[in-house]
Structure 1
Amino acid sequence: MKGFIQTLKNIWSLQELRDKIIVTLSLILVYRFASYISLPAINMAEVGNLLDHFQKQGGGKQAAGLLGLLSSFTGGAFSHASIMALGIMPYISASIIVQLMGMAIPYLQKLQKDGESGRKTLNQITRWLTIGVCLVQAPFYLGTITQVFLPYEQFRSAYYIDPQSIAFYVPSVVILVAGSIFAMWLGEKITDKGIGNGISILIMVGILAGLPTAFLQEFTTQTGNGGLGSIMILIEVLFWLVVILLAIVLSVAVRKIPIQYVSRAHATGGSNRNLLQGARQWIPLKVNASGVMPLIFAQALMFVPGLLTKFDDTNTFLAGFKNPFSWQYNVLLVILIIIFSYFYTAITIPVNQMADDLKRNGGLIPKVRPGQETANYLDDILSKITLPGAFFLSIFAILPALVHGGFVQTEGFSHFFGGTSLLIMVGVILDTVQQINTYLLNHHYDGLMQSKLSRTSNL
């Protein structure tokens, strides 16, 4: 505990790091404040009553299946008709599209290899594509909230003007696009001026915003009539901590591939002959190299089976795909995650380029020939470790459904036991802590250099 307190003191004593943390927290507060500003044509107070009434009428599970993911990423702004309702997700979608298009478009492939200048051009393309994604998503979002809530005549007062008129749609679309661009700007500013990856931090903050309310609802349910008591709350918290620990293990687990770098050095003892010397290092191949992307892709496609119920709303089998806690939904989700894990790993881990870089730098894997044989060897290892990685990722994806059917009473709290939310939180926190540790280590090295220079000047 003393070491942890001392680390906090060290962090706060560094002016540069302290300023970055203050900037990050300030921009997060701005983002959270903006998420509570409703669209001008909508009465925010009535929207809260609409949501409560909708959940009591049994729409909670369908909303969780179709809108819950976006709502959790935006900290509830999506479900509360906020100006930040689309949040940062259009930028994420645009980034994924640009990354996938880079496989097929030579111009984008060239930009990916052009270093800093190419990165800036790709970022600009992603920004413009974000606006395009917003222009598509905003009308659909507005159509969704009007279709869901308009049947309730007693809640017509939630709209100041006719929600099906052009006077409602055009200004609302412009505001939603501006809100998403503002969220993207905040994320980029956090990356440049703050600490950590700004886009990921905003997503994590949106997810964490719902944790206190979810826990309070679970506590009230468990300690009320029909609950299992406060001891079950303690068991749930302990189990949640174990799940977080396993998520950390999944995020950092690697398979180390030994490599040997051969270099030439002068032999000592007056001889001019050269000796071959080797420096052994490792290639860390992550067990879950694709991160949460397979889960995001899979959940995005899970919207499609649910939409089929519009053509046949009497089919109970198809209706199960709209409920994220049903067996139909989770079986298909597992299959999609495994497929996308292999797909995304194959397109993001360039084994051929890794083999060429090793050969160019004089590195080799013991007992494996440089070149194509090395690439085949790395691809074979990657294929073997991707399966267990995809399997454990699938377990985390369906864990909310498992715990909700077991001992967790409320749907909201069960979502924090796995899925995209937990893995994103763990990944962002690990990345941010790593950056803070880097600042601390750099300050330590700077201090040593300054002390040496001062001693030298005194001599």
Structure 2
Amino acid sequence: MLSQLKQAWKIKDVRKKILYTLMMIVVFRIGATIPVPGVNTSIIKEMVGNNSLLSLYNMFTGGAFSNFTLFALGIGPYITASIILQLLTIGFESLDELQKSGEEGKKKINKYTKYTALALALVQAIGITLGVVRSALKNNNVFFICTVILTLVAASMLLMWIGDKITEKGLGNGSSVIIFVGIVSRVPIDIMNAINMVQNGKLAIWAAALLVVVILLTIMAVTYIQEATRKIPVQYAKRVVGRKTYGGQSSHIPMKVNQSGVIPVIFASSLLAFPQTIAMFMGSDAQNFVQTYLSPNGEIGFWIYRSLEVLLIVFFAYFYTTVSFNTEDIANNMKNNGGFIPGIRPGKPTIDYLNRILSRLTLAGAIFLAVISLIPAFVTHYMSVSMNLAGTSLLIVVGVALELKRQLESNLVMRSYQGFLK
């Protein structure tokens, strides 16, 4: 692995991508350490410690919320906006046509997503400032409150810009990389907390060992499934043009078991955090209701939260696969190039066959994502151990790491290097 990284470093274009990504990550981490002035962070940390939903939200911001730094809102508004726009493309034909109209259409969709993210960031900033951290503000005059709200919104838009730039000029999907870095940045703190719990007798050594085993097995399982593909054989008919014969070779269509990657997990987590934002505007009764019935750490809320998480993961797995993998286009391209699947007629029969295979693979992938997100969550919940790198977060970390590895491979292969493939 290290030798391939060294090889990638020698290629100017790849080195620039790596350095640019690292530079943007540094900017993100700097912003995640600069506190918003005039806020008592000790009060907020106490709130986060007593509220499991705020604790979950804090995990995705890399601890920025508990310290109430510039990036306290995180990338959440942008992800939620992306979900809303993608769902709207189903209900509104004009948006669907816009999305399918090439690069210009995608640019317009992206612009609408950013406007929606701005609106959501403003709503969330108002809710957090007035509903959650009001008691932590050292000054309660209107001007100061407006300043805090505008600071949070502006910083959230900056974080969205950082994500866009990583996607455009760096490695990986910017939003996923930011979430990845946020989660990983909390791992050393988790490890120290676990060690302290073992030393203080609050956590048995066998329980700590079991936790490590579960995490390692989860990483292995995620890696295996994320890389697993089903190869659909394709045969190309022979064509004689003049004195030359074309075609006749065999190929295959690689269909991944988990076609949607970790996107369903990220979307599900973002959507489940949304009720907390709404509750901020509705007083303590609504917040207590959400804390009781939608808390991932409460006795009642744990089961409700995890059940909703499974349903959302399955839904977004099917939804994202449908959007990203167009079986009709694949079937038409094969037909136009003289290709066919052995035993299947070209045209609609091929589309139906690919849809059946894709549906089965998507179901298997969705169930896998749901199970993998639940097992570490159950272990940490019933062992009463707070670990950021468990369940949903572990899936995201491993999935994003594999995607970064895959992109690095692609960049090497494109430049005629064997890279990771040898």
Alignment TM-score, normalising by the size of structure 1 = 0.79
- What is the DSSP-based 3-state SS (H/G/I as helix, E as strand, rest coil) of the residue aligned with 2:233? strand
1:98-133 Cα offsets, whole Å, 9 max, x none, are 222223334333333333333333322222222122
Partner-residue secondary structure (3-state), 1:67: helix
Off by >6 Å, runs of 4+ in structure 1: 304-309
For 1:253-272, list aligned pairs within 5 A: 253-265=228-240
CA distance in 1, matches of 2:15, 2:197: 41
Correspondence for 1:279: 249
Query: Contact conserved, 1:222 with 1:409, CA < 8 A, in 2?
Result: no
CA contact (8 A) 1:294 1:341 kept: yes
Please point out which of 104, 109, 116 is paired with 1:129. Answer: 116
Equivalence for 2:45: 51
Residue-pair matches, total: 410
Structure 1 residue 209: deviation in Å? 1.1
Please tell me whether residue 394 in structure 1 is matched to residue 370 in structure 2.
yes
- Tell me what 2:79 maps to: 92
How is 1:27-426 mapped onto 2 (pairs within 5 angstroms)? 27-42=24-39, 46-48=40-42, 50-52=44-46, 55=49, 59=50, 63-64=51-52, 66-146=53-133, 150=135, 158-162=136-140, 165-229=141-205, 233-265=208-240, 277-300=247-270, 302=272, 310=285, 319-324=292-297, 326-405=302-381, 408-411=383-386, 413=387, 415-419=388-392, 421-426=393-398
Aligned mates of 1:29, 1:107 — CA distance in 2? 40
Tell me which structure has the larger Cα radius of gyration.
1
- Equivalence for 2:405: 433
Cα distance in structure 1, aligned partners of 2:312 and 2:342: 36
Q: Following the alignment from structure 1 to structure 2, what is the Cα–Cα distance between the partners of residues 362 and 97?
A: 39
For the structure 1 residues 198 and 234, does the alpha-carbon distance in structure 2 shift closer, same or farther, using more than 3 Å as the test? same
| Contact residue 380 and residue 390 of structure 2 kept, 8 A | no
Partner deviation per Cα, 1:319-362 (whole Å, 9 max, x = no partner): 35324463343234334433443344344433333333332332
Query: What's the counterpart of residue 24 of structure 1?
Result: 21
Question: Per the alignment, in what secondary structure is the counterpart of residue 64 of structure 2?
Answer: coil
| Alpha-carbon distance in 1 for matches of 2:8, 2:339 | 38
CA contact (8 A) 1:191 1:198 kept: yes
Aligned-partner residue type, residue 199 of structure 1: S
- What is the root-mean-square deviation of aligned Cα atoms in Å? 3.1
Deviation at 1:395, TM superposition (A): 1.0
In structure 2, runs of 5+ residues without a counterpart are none
Structure 1 unaligned blocks of 5 or more: 151-157, 267-271, 447-459
CA displacement 1:181-202 (0-9 Å, x = unmatched): 1111212222333333222211
SS in 2 for 1:278: coil
Q: Contact 2:98/2:106 (CA < 8 Å) preserved in 1?
A: yes
What is the percentage of aligned positions where both structures have the same residue?
36
Matches within 5 A, 1:445-456: none
